[in-house]
Amino acid sequence: MTDVREAITRAHHQEWARVVASLTRRFGDLDIAEEAAAEAFATAVARWPADGVPPNPGAWLTTTANRKAIDRLRREHKRDDKQREAQLLYDDAPPEPLGPIDDDRLRLIFTCCHPALSTETRVALTLRMVGGLSVPEIARAFLVQETAMGRRITRAKAKIKAARIPYRVPSGDDLPTRRSGVLAVLFLVFNEGYLATGPDLDPVRPDLTAEAIRLTRLLRTLLPDDGEVAGLLALMLLTEARRTARISASGELVTLVEQDRGAWDAALVAEGHRLVRERLATGAAPGRYQILAAINAVHTSARDARDTDWSQVVALYDQLVHIDPSPVVALNRAVAVAEVDGPDVALAAVDRLGNALAGYHAYHATRADLLRRLGRSQQSRAAYDRAIELAGNTAETAYLTRRRDQLR
């Protein structure tokens, strides 16, 4: 029985997106695809323990889901044309390519991440339709009521249908722009798992980080030559490798400098480094995620925090600023500058960001640390107070509180 349950779980991880994507391509309706796929997996749960796991679980699930979809169409009397019904039943012809890359799962990802949908909706729809997460799971992850999340997903599917958003991979000219939106969605999912927001959540959500990595691996399989997809995967792996060392036994954030590097996942670090090296070997100009991955590679290459090549980190941030001149990137660069040129130089750079980042807790936490290093304890305490007030994660709050209380 345990083996069957594991087989069903494995099939769900491996086949859900393929089944939903196949049904979406055939029936042109996300709602029908989702419901039929869910019914197929429910049938597997009921029948596989008695009948045994089929030799090809994916084919079994796809066939079963197709039958469920056709049964629904018949029940709802939405297909009066008998010729059309026969086509649904017997048309086994391969689909025509609908973009530069012919894969149903990739079409599904781009459909769920269409720019006509809000960012929050793209995240929810991707996790449901591509990741196979349940509505309650998605609602818990993003601190939304289950009914509200269900309505959000339902409205998104209705909008795709009403607006006739095409189920296809974008054209070659549009692909880079649309791909960046897909990567942003996956990165949002990962970040929410790596440092969850909300006082009632665990500070780290490994279920979400694992799902983001799994979906990014799928995207890399579909776009193997895309540097930014490889860069995002490398960034996630190198960040995830440090997860178990990031929260102390008392539930407090452990900064990169203080972490036990022996507790890092060596296999994930090695895979992340390999991806970074492969991209460097191409000689192509790196994008945002590739540079962020390279920065993480520098950090995870040092056996001790004191061995970190901070000059290299600053140089990489200099590259990143040209691509992404955002205040957050400038703030992170200043942290590295403090290690190269001193906290006074870094503080001057941070203070110039005050208007843009006044409501960002990391800005005040960074100022607090730099002021502490400069011996300006009273100002540091005030900055820590503001950072604690704005922090949305229990582990960060605990860390910042301890640092503040250590001030003389």
Q: Percent of the chain beyond pLDDT 70? A: 91
Mean pLDDT over 33-58 rounds to: 92
Q: What is the pLDDT of residues 358-381, one digit of tens each?
A: 999 999 999 999 999 999 999 999
The whole-chain average pLDDT of the chain stands at: 88
| Residue 74 to residue 79: CA distance in whole angstroms | 7
> pLDDT class for 91, splitting at 50, 70, 90?
very low
Mean pLDDT over 263-280 rounds to: 97
Higher pLDDT, 140 or 262: 262
Higher pLDDT, 72 or 236: 236
Mean pLDDT over 85-96 rounds to: 44
* Count of C-beta atoms within a 10 Å radius of residue 39: 17
Q: Which residues pair with 243 in a beta bridge?
A: none
Q: What is the pLDDT of residues 304-363, one digit of tens each?
A: 999 999 999 999 999 999 999 999 999 999 999 999 999 999 999 999 999 999 999 999
Tell me the C-alpha to C-alpha distance, in Å, between residue 118 and each of 108, 125, 144, 188, 310.
17, 10, 16, 13, 38
pLDDT score recorded for residue 75: 81
HEC assignment per residue over the chain: CHHHHHHHHHHHHHHHHHHHHHHHHHHCCHHHHHHHHHHHHHHHHHHHHHHCCCCCHHHHHHHHHHHHHHHHHHHCCCCCCHHHHHHHHHCCCCCCCCCCCCCHHHHHHHHHCCCCCCHHHHHHHHHHHCCCCCHHHHHHHCCCCHHHHHHHHHHHHHHHHHCCCCCCCCCCCCHHHHHHHHHHHHHHHHHHHHCCCCCCCCCCCHHHHHHHHHHHHHHHHHCCCCHHHHHHHHHHHHHHCCHHHCECCCCCECCHHHCCHHHCCHHHHHHHHHHHHHHHHHCCCCCHHHHHHHHHHHHHHCCCHHHCCHHHHHHHHHHHHHHCCCHHHHHHHHHHHHHHHCHHHHHHHHHCCCCCCCCCHHHHHHHHHHHHHCCCHHHHHHHHHHHHHHCCCHHHHHHHHHHHHCCC
pLDDT score recorded for residue 196: 60
Q: What is the pLDDT of residues 122-173, one digit of tens each?
A: 989 998 998 888 888 888 777 788 999 999 999 999 999 888 888 887 877 7
pLDDT score recorded for residue 90: 42
Q: With a cut of 70, say whether residue 94 has pLDDT above it.
A: no
| Residue 189 to residue 197: CA distance in whole angstroms | 12
pLDDT score recorded for residue 201: 52
Q: With a cut of 50, say whether residue 82 has pLDDT above it.
A: no
pLDDT score recorded for residue 20: 92
pLDDT score recorded for residue 178: 84
